[in-house]
Amino acid sequence: MNKTKKEITAKDECVKICQAIWSCKNIEQKDGCYKMFETYKKKHGEENIGITFIEIELARLEQLIVKMEERNQKLQALQEQRNKELEAEANKELKEKQVDKKIIPLNTKNKPTE
């Protein structure tokens, strides 16, 4: 046999899908991984060890995405809290500057003479 193109095996496809899963960062990419998985199942059948391996990785990915969403919500809440603190601090400094400008220093030159 003379092969000009390297045939992609089920193992190769499984590895490529797992690499896509491992590099997945968001829900849209996750959906793409599921589509690749469905295509893999149709092409190689249900009785394939790769199916089990990919299912395990997809379950891990689901858990990871939930944790990432929780972390993002916590970070957003922390950022909002920090922004409120900075705004309150800036308002306090602004009020202090306004009060400082209203204070007239007492000196003898400005006192009325009797």
Sign of CA dihedral 8, 20, 59, 42: negative
Two tokens, residue 20: 């896509």
Top-confidence residue, 95 or 82: 82
Q: Which residues of 74-107 are buried (b: 16+ CB within 10 A; e: fewer)?
A: eeeeeeeeeeeeeeeeeeeeeeeeeeeeeeeeee
Q: What is the pLDDT of residues 56-74, one digit of tens each?
A: 999 999 999 899 899 999 9
For residues 38 and 48, the model is more confident at 38
pLDDT exceeds cutoff 70 at 1: no
List Cα–Cα distances, 72 to 18, 55, 86, 113, in angstroms.
Answer: 24, 26, 21, 68
CB-facing half-sphere around the CA of 22: CA atoms within 13 A:
8
The DSSP letter of residue 110 is: G
- Judged against a pLDDT cut of 90, whether residue 104 lies above it is answered with no
Min mean pLDDT across 42-46, 86-90, 95-99 is at 95-99
